[in-house]
Structure 1
């Protein structure tokens, strides 16, 4: 920035400087405008048509980079033309900082407390207070446990000492809080162990990846009964969601990976005011055979809401106590891909949207109220849509994409219409799909599990972390407390007392 002493006295030279500064300011403003346009384009990809949407992770990375460049350009613009004092401050992530955070006060005071006008003593008439969020990088500390030994001078035969505190890793160096941190970083924040080892090394903490893996494996052994307890509770539910996703697993015998499966079973009764806590359980299996969900669900009897995978239909045929409810979101996707070129697909989407409009109104209502409103408003939409699909299905080739989409809906129609008669049923299976996404992100970062056992360990710990998230419980705090209780011999027949939802009960 030019200082007054740097300005020339010649008028033409001054004019040249002003023009140059105006050109630079115009260039900076143009850069800000260009970056804002890019940001808006990214936002359109987030909310636009499915064919235009980016992968969610790619979108986040793109937004980060553009927003960073935009902040850089705004600073450059402000440096060339500083805001006046009465200008509105730029929009930032404003809001009250959490009350539980430690406050470290610093006082910025004047050096001279004599009045600049008359020299009299100044007295405080108020103050301005500003809070900023600060951070101290992850700080390691060493807990030193001393256990004095006592002897008797009279008999010299008795030695008394308090027992050593129980540990998850006997003879090892980690506290349960550190093990919890490793688990959360790997399974919630998607940081593979080798990256965590690199982070620790920056603070001169030398921990091999294999050492961290040993901790994770031992913690998984202790935590497995909790996952099994959650799965058992889910089996006793009246309604469940089910889904599955691939889990690449290293297959050393063939020198490459094989495709395992992580199955997810979820319950969330909050949309209709149910009292049971939301929960999800993951189970690893080496394949996608139809008998897998039958083994996982045991004697489950009730409504199973799923996508169109044929294994669930086979399960329902073998187990008459299971009724299937299908997912309208999957039906919608079939037609969404054709909407630009097919008026029939566009019309189907319009009618499905009217179903979702009703659902927006009944979300959170009691189950019976949802059923009544659906009967009054959604039943007619469903009936008309069924007739429409049957009529158009006779007019198009069964091998066309549109014919396939119509057949997909009609062959599952009873399960798609099941929500009309039971207010507990949702319109789609998005509940369990949301629980699948963290697994997919972890898969993307970790590439593959090292073995079938590693995939099973993945399922156990991911179950507990996702249940914490569903119940708004801090997973690190919960895991620390839970691992400590387990190390101290918490009874196996009382693991229900350790569940994440008990922390908010």
Structure 2
């Protein structure tokens, strides 16, 4: 072969001894590969190592996601099918469940003293004499029984008689017996006044409609069905028209409730959805909101199209106090309210904090011991604070209270400081940005971080013993309207939703003062009837904080039905 051909021959690839590169023992088998193949394999090793690391991380994230979703499933199942109790199942000291046979039976126990018949001193008594149809005779000799020297034997039964009837007024008509001019020739006796002047339905019917819907929270249709079966069919449209007229009569009382509440300085606030089935400009959908503000002497409801901070801001703009404490949950609208109105102090609800731990225990069984540990710590706060509040004299500042109060106050402060220390130790020892952080640690971190962020509002009750630790009174007030929402789905129009807020406010406020709603409503409707279908000029006899003690005691009893 000539020299020109030898010049174009390819170069021999360089061989690499894998044994020498990897530092293996000389006795180990040797593999020779080309350098290019070695570099390709080395590059592939790095690639697959990176892919393996990503797969491990991805699997860890998926495992945490599965754990989180399973927790949500457990939580939803509990909400639908679980018992309505936050207490864990009772266990013996050895960890075994209690024997169900040893469980104390419910109800009054055999051999215990009963409370006797319930006293009902306000019910009218109607006596009836019961006699034999025929004189009984002895079945042996045939001689008749004679009257017993003890006379009659008394037996008591209770009865409620509901019936409908037509009331016809035969109005006396008289003509004048003189020749005087400028006077009427005939006069007819006036018909008794009615709350809706031209309506054929009297006060008792409107009273029943208002109480049934807004106090007992039952659909009006049920009452109308009952009236129809009693022989008194009434059109739903007639009832709607009458209620629209009645709304104007209760508006002054509603305004008086608001004006009086603006003089107070402590509120329990809450809100719940409410349906309004009317198309309103600039409002999408039929979901409105029912807001409640409960103070010492007034429970005030209002219907609003939204759930934003503008609703409570507008509500509190007329307050007459320099400082207000609002007991509420951790909803962002209340936080915005406090930022816009610095004189408002938020006292957050410890019951919601407690619920955080119970939810975590239900979603993640592994956290049950940790969660119940914190629930127990919150229970200790409640226990100490309840005893402390019983000794609190609202006329004196904390530093002037008696020695026993100060002792309990010191214990409460110590418990709060211990919670702060334990909370902060956990938060500072974990980095939430760490991607390898376990899901359960993240759950703990989230709960304790929320506890820290809301601690200022959760500590208000310490220096203000008159402020409760939770907003249960507010939730209790809104519970009855929520029952009504579930029964009759809300309101068919905007005006009817406003009437609902008015009547809820009136009935709940009367309940605070232990006034009989039936008695008050009858008295008020009669006063409106006497004022020609308008609200009475003097509302003082119908406002609990203005009426005298005797009037309040009278209205606390059932109305006279005679």
Please classify the TM superposition score into its range, dividing by the shorter chain length: 0.7 to 0.9
Kindly indicate whether residue 283 of structure 2 is the aligned counterpart of residue 261 of structure 1. Answer: no
CA distance in structure 1 between the partners assigned to 2:301 and 2:170 by the alignment: 38
Kindly indicate whether residue 411 of structure 2 is the aligned counterpart of residue 377 of structure 1. Answer: yes
Kindly indicate whether residue 135 of structure 2 is the aligned counterpart of residue 111 of structure 1. Answer: yes
1:393 equivalent in structure 2: 427
| Residue 348 of structure 1, CA deviation | 1.5
8 Å CA contact retained: 2:350, 2:458: yes
- Identify if the C-alpha distance between structure 1 residues 48 and 241 changes in structure 2 by more than 3 Å, giving closer, same or farther: closer
1:142 equivalent in structure 2: 167
State the SS of the aligned residue for 1:289.
coil
1:486 equivalent in structure 2: 528
| Residue 149 of structure 1, CA deviation | 5.0
CA distance in structure 1 between the partners assigned to 2:241 and 2:535 by the alignment: 24
CA distance in structure 2 between the partners assigned to 1:428 and 1:329 by the alignment: 6
Kindly indicate whether residue 499 of structure 2 is the aligned counterpart of residue 499 of structure 1. Answer: no
| Residue 152 of structure 1, CA deviation | 4.4
Contiguous gaps of at least 5 residues in structure 1: 1-43, 53-87, 269-277
1:72 equivalent in structure 2: none
Aligned length in residues: 419
- Identify if the C-alpha distance between structure 1 residues 95 and 383 changes in structure 2 by more than 3 Å, giving closer, same or farther: same
State the SS of the aligned residue for 1:431.
helix
Correspondence 1:429-448 to 2 at 5 A: 429-448=471-490
Q: Greater helix share, 1 or 2?
A: 1
- Identify if the C-alpha distance between structure 1 residues 197 and 395 changes in structure 2 by more than 3 Å, giving closer, same or farther: farther
CA distance in structure 1 between the partners assigned to 2:258 and 2:354 by the alignment: 30
2:469 equivalent in structure 1: 427
CA distance in structure 2 between the partners assigned to 1:51 and 1:397 by the alignment: 35
1:174 equivalent in structure 2: 201
Kindly indicate whether residue 49 of structure 2 is the aligned counterpart of residue 49 of structure 1. Answer: no
| Residue 396 of structure 1, CA deviation | 5.8
TM-score w.r.t. the length of structure 1 is: 0.73
2:50 equivalent in structure 1: none
Correspondence 1:160-309 to 2 at 5 A: 165-252=192-279, 257-268=285-296, 278-300=297-319, 301=321, 302-309=324-331
State the SS of the aligned residue for 2:360.
coil
1:73 equivalent in structure 2: none
| Residue 157 of structure 1, CA deviation | 3.8
- Identify if the C-alpha distance between structure 1 residues 198 and 115 changes in structure 2 by more than 3 Å, giving closer, same or farther: closer
1:26 equivalent in structure 2: none
| Residue 368 of structure 1, CA deviation | 5.8
Computed over aligned residues only, the root mean square deviation of the Cα atoms, in angstroms, reads 3.6
TM-score w.r.t. the length of structure 2 is: 0.66
CA distance in structure 2 between the partners assigned to 1:99 and 1:114 by the alignment: 41
| Residue 375 of structure 1, CA deviation | 2.1
- Identify if the C-alpha distance between structure 1 residues 205 and 368 changes in structure 2 by more than 3 Å, giving closer, same or farther: same
8 Å CA contact retained: 2:136, 2:145: no
CA distance in structure 2 between the partners assigned to 1:259 and 1:130 by the alignment: 55
The structure with the larger Rg is 2
- Identify if the C-alpha distance between structure 1 residues 125 and 451 changes in structure 2 by more than 3 Å, giving closer, same or farther: closer
CA distance in structure 1 between the partners assigned to 2:254 and 2:334 by the alignment: 23
Deviations 1:344-380 (A, max 9, x none): 3222211110111124334555336895535233221
Kindly indicate whether residue 445 of structure 2 is the aligned counterpart of residue 403 of structure 1. Answer: yes
Contiguous gaps of at least 5 residues in structure 2: 1-81, 91-109, 433-438, 554-562
1:314 equivalent in structure 2: 336
8 Å CA contact retained: 2:346, 2:457: yes
State the SS of the aligned residue for 2:171.
coil
